Amino acid sequence: ETAVFQTPNYHVTQVGNEVSFNCKQTLGHDTMYWYKQDSKKLLKIMFSYNNKQLIVNETVPRRFSPQSSDKAHLNLRIKSVEPEDSAVYLCASSDRGQVFFGKGTRLTVV
Amino acid sequence: GEQVEQRPPHLSVPEGDSAVIICTYTDSATAYFYWYKQEPGAGLQLLMSVFSNVDRKEEQGLTVLLNKKDKQLSLNLTAAHPGDSAVYFCAVITGYQNFYFGKGTSLTVIP
């Protein structure tokens, strides 16, 4: 049963465009995350958001920004995509150490 | 950095038999361990999570063992059934909430 919903499933765009990915969780969790998956199966944390407190991984380029309207939603905006942004982006939510992932959004920048 | 090795990559067992998947990790400071199941077209489904102060955890036909001395995490599916056929991933969290995933084990349960 999917409880973390991501849209779109995949997106192809050109360098310099702006993209936005949506994430919604129906678990009632207080904490949500965005991860970027690299080729070695490592999910690098980009942002975590808990009770309106945003924690940013300082290695994340400034063109990335999270957007949250309430604790069930955490969207990811990329202001001007670059080729190295091509990856799978995973949204997650957590409660008491258990982490639930969405299906991911595959971004291809051409 | 952390390295997670998962074996076997493929596993076939008759229905009713047990299936064991093993992961080894390298960072002794790793504190959180997870097993996820992925069915075709689906996302990662959390099966079980254990903290480093737990050696054994059992839930609904699944047993997770954590051997911190050998840095080994295992998942045992007892009495596997065809619905268990999927890809299984171990994962650990170290440091700054980064997840390290194993490469997955494709399990086939033969009726």
The 8-class DSSP code of residue A73 comes to: B
Q: How confident is the model at residue A58 (pLDDT cuts 50, 70, 90)?
A: confident
Q: How far is CA B96 from the centre of its chain?
A: 21
How far does A36 lie from chain B, in Å, by closest CA? 10
pLDDT at B42: 79
Helix/strand/coil for B84? helix
* Interatomic CA distance for residues B102 and B88, integer angstroms: 9
Average pLDDT over residues A91-103: 90
Residue type for A78, please? I
Nearest to A102 among B36, B43, B96 (CB): B43
Span B25-48, pLDDT tens digits: 998 888 899 999 998 877 889 999
Nearest CA-CA partner of B105 in B3, B6, B4: B6
Q: How far is CA A46 from the centre of its chain?
A: 7
Q: Which residues of B touch A (CB under 8 A)?
A: 4, 32, 34, 36, 42-44, 46, 49, 51, 93, 96-103
Q: Is the per-residue pLDDT at A2 higher than 70?
A: no
Which of A22-26, A34-38, B40-44 has maximum average pLDDT? A22-26
* C-alpha to C-alpha distances, B1 to B4, B30, B57, B99, nearest whole angstrom: 10, 11, 27, 12
Contact B101 A43 (CB under 8 A): yes
The residue among B5, B50, B97 with the most chain A CBs within 10 A of its CB, best to mutate, is B97
Average pLDDT over residues B94-110: 89
Q: How confident is the model at residue B109 (pLDDT cuts 50, 70, 90)?
A: very high
Of A58 and B90, the one with more pLDDT: B90
**Mean pLDDT over each residue of chain A, to the nearest integer:** 91
Q: Tokens 């849209």 sit at which residue?
A: A7
* Interatomic CA distance for residues A21 and A48, integer angstroms: 15
Percent of chain A with pLDDT strictly greater than 90: 72
Span A63-78, pLDDT tens digits: 999 999 888 999 999 9
Average pLDDT over residues A49-58: 82
Cβ-proximal residues to A72 (8 Å cutoff; 6+ apart), any chain: A24, A25, A26, A28
